[in-house]
Structure 1
Amino acid sequence: MGKYSVKSSRILILMSIIFLFASGSGCIRSFEEESYYSIRDMDISADHAGTSFVDLNVTTYIEKYQGDTEKNTSLLLKVYSTESGLLEVKEQVNLGKLKKGETKIVSQSLSLPKTGGYDIRSVLFEEDIQKSSGEIKVYNLDYLPADVQDIGLEISEMDFKVRKVEDGKVLVESDIYITNEGRETSSDFRALVKVREMDAGLLADKVWIQTGEIKPEATVIRSVNLTMPDQYNYILEVLIWNNDTIVRRGEGYIRLNPEIEVKDEDATKTRKIQTSEFENLGEPEMVPEEDYAEEGATPGFSLLLSAVLICSAAILRRRFG
């Protein structure tokens, strides 16, 4: 019995040594298969071309062709200027876990200055380990034509003031608020402002103006005077032109004969507007800052002039005293 126990112990020790040797030499390995990925292809397209910026769409095709385990992956998109080599933009998107044999299509949007060219690289990571990368280049974005409609300007507001009422005619000053929502100073565009009777569609008056150059995120007011018959309702239209193309529209309403709903009755009736009561004959002009300074000065001689007069009086007293 004792000999059998000793023999079993020896066999157990021997098996342990063999197991350790086999593990160290790689005969027994983990059955976890390492993951391998491939960026098979990349596509690029221009979604929108402005005067100074272009919006690009980059599509990356990712394939996981080996690996049983599923770990989180992410795709890092890096954009380098081909002229300077400097990094312009980088964006990262999480893809989650990919299965073996799965192909993932990832689309990413980029907004870049429309100058020169760019080297666009897609880098795939599993957890924090880089697994694959791809590259695509784009050239000569300067020559990409801008979308005709993209001028960056919006008509944000309109105000109306009655300047004169005479012989059944009303002179209305219209203040048009134009905002530059683009990324660079706008060009100076032509704009047609016209006032049309709401029901018949008859044109009462029209005026051409210039928008002027407007800085980014700035709003300017362009004022026009339009004459129209009293006691009608009108639509004021603003059409901004880029050469021979209308690129922006805006509308406002002037109701000199509005309709109101009659309470407790299923009917409407017109409300008589005494237009002359809203007449604005003039407004106080803004005084420049330097004028404000002069108006705020104390009446009488200034300190410098007073000092000169005192010195002159002292000299005269010595000479003739």
Structure 2
Amino acid sequence: MRKLQTKSAQISFLKSLFLILSIIAFTFGSGCVKDFEEESYYNVRDMDISADRTGAAFVDLNVTTYIEKSQGDPAKNTSLLLKAYSQESGLLEAQKEIKLGMLKKGETKSVSQILTLPKTGGYDLHCVLFEESVQKSNGEIKVYNLDALPAEVQEIGLEIPEMDFRVKAVEGGRVLVENDIYLTNEGRETSKDFRMLVKVREMDAGLLADKVWTRTGEIKPEATVIQSVNLTMPDQYNYIVEVLIWNNDTIVERGEGYIRLSPVTETKNRNVTQAREIQTSEFENVVETGMIPEEEHTEEGESTPGFSLPLSAILLCSAAILRRRFA
């Protein structure tokens, strides 16, 4: 009787052991237990805001977020998502995400992000910290009355990337030069029609040879226009052409170009330089060339659909011969 009880106890123990081992194997196989991985904890310690650039209609906000990792596995990547909600409508106005990489335990990291927002009212700025795809922490800061920020006077959006010069006439030792000024609007809105002063100054003496007032015209965002002026100057001198854009009584943009009608070159003996004589009249160009509209431009050599004239004649003759034969 005792042997039966002992055998029954052994069988019960083996069943229990088998059940425990099965549970452990299933748990490890299903990934429910990780190799003693430490849970990660993050804190958004603080957020700072500054205005990097203030235009007439937009403002660039520099948002700096301070993130602290208190504990956790250092081998996981993190990212920070910054979102701006309008306080008036509650709608999402802009968002930007940045990859932070792996943070070490006990590390505090500052992250700066630029958000471009309409300069109206205020915004609620939310930051959300992710580890891989899991949200770990968040923060919030508010900004008010952006429309009260004064626009930076210098930020008109216009740049002068290029200038061209063309000789139109040479007479009595004086040269008439057409100056093409390229104006590009790098801003986010159509520019105003600014005053523009073009001056020609002799390079060595600094004497002013000519100056002309004109206007930039209104330029659409990311567009480039060409404004042309005529300048008169004495021949056989070198000049600096200065272009100044005025906003009321303030110079807000400038550009420079060079006209060398008497360039200086070095001779074989490098201690001696001499001026080259330029026959300016050889560069006279009075032919007016206009811009070709995109919608009217077609490539040269583009053929018109249909048969050519010789092929059409051959086909007509063949048809006549066949008609006589079978008539």
Give the structure-2-normalised TM-score: 0.74
Match of 2:28 in 1: none
Unaligned runs of 5+ in 2: 25-32, 294-327
Letter in 1 for 2:110: I
- Supply the distance in 2 between the matched residues of 1:252 and 1:45 (Cα, whole angstroms): 37
Letter in 2 for 1:84: S
Which of 246, 251, 255 in structure 2 is aligned with 1:246? 251
Which of 166, 172, 176 in structure 1 is aligned with 2:171? 166
3-state DSSP class of the match of 2:201? strand
Cα deviation digits, residues 1-48 of structure 1 (max 9, x gap): x99x9699479659849979xx9xxxxx98544332221211111111
Match of 1:71 in 2: 76
Match of 1:291 in 2: none
Match of 1:272 in 2: 277
- Percent identical pairs in the alignment equals 71
* Aligned-pair Cα RMSD in Å: 3.2
3-state DSSP class of the match of 1:184? coil
3-state DSSP class of the match of 2:90? coil
Runs of 4+ in 1 over 4 A off after TM superposition: 5-20, 29-33, 284-288
3-state DSSP class of the match of 2:68? strand
- Supply the distance in 1 between the matched residues of 2:105 and 2:149 (Cα, whole angstroms): 40
- Supply the distance in 2 between the matched residues of 1:72 and 1:126 (Cα, whole angstroms): 6
Displacement of 1:147: 1.9
**Matched-pair contact (CA < 8 Å) for 1:32–1:69:** no
Alignment CA distance shift 1:201-1:34 (3 Å): same
- Supply the distance in 2 between the matched residues of 1:145 and 1:239 (Cα, whole angstroms): 23
- Supply the distance in 2 between the matched residues of 1:42 and 1:68 (Cα, whole angstroms): 25
**Matched-pair contact (CA < 8 Å) for 1:259–1:271:** yes
3-state DSSP class of the match of 1:276? helix
Letter in 1 for 2:231: L
**Matched-pair contact (CA < 8 Å) for 2:81–2:128:** yes
- Supply the distance in 2 between the matched residues of 1:75 and 1:118 (Cα, whole angstroms): 18
Match of 1:111 in 2: 116
Match of 1:145 in 2: 150
3-state DSSP class of the match of 2:187? coil
- Supply the distance in 2 between the matched residues of 1:215 and 1:235 (Cα, whole angstroms): 29
Unaligned runs of 5+ in 1: 24-28, 289-321
**Matched-pair contact (CA < 8 Å) for 1:33–1:69:** no
Displacement of 1:91: 2.0
Letter in 2 for 1:39: V
Q: How many matched pairs?
A: 279
3-state DSSP class of the match of 2:154? coil
Match of 2:90 in 1: 85
Give the structure-1-normalised TM-score: 0.76
Cα deviation digits, residues 112-136 of structure 1 (max 9, x gap): 2223322111111223222211111
Displacement of 1:256: 1.3
Displacement of 1:237: 0.5
Alignment CA distance shift 1:275-1:69 (3 Å): closer
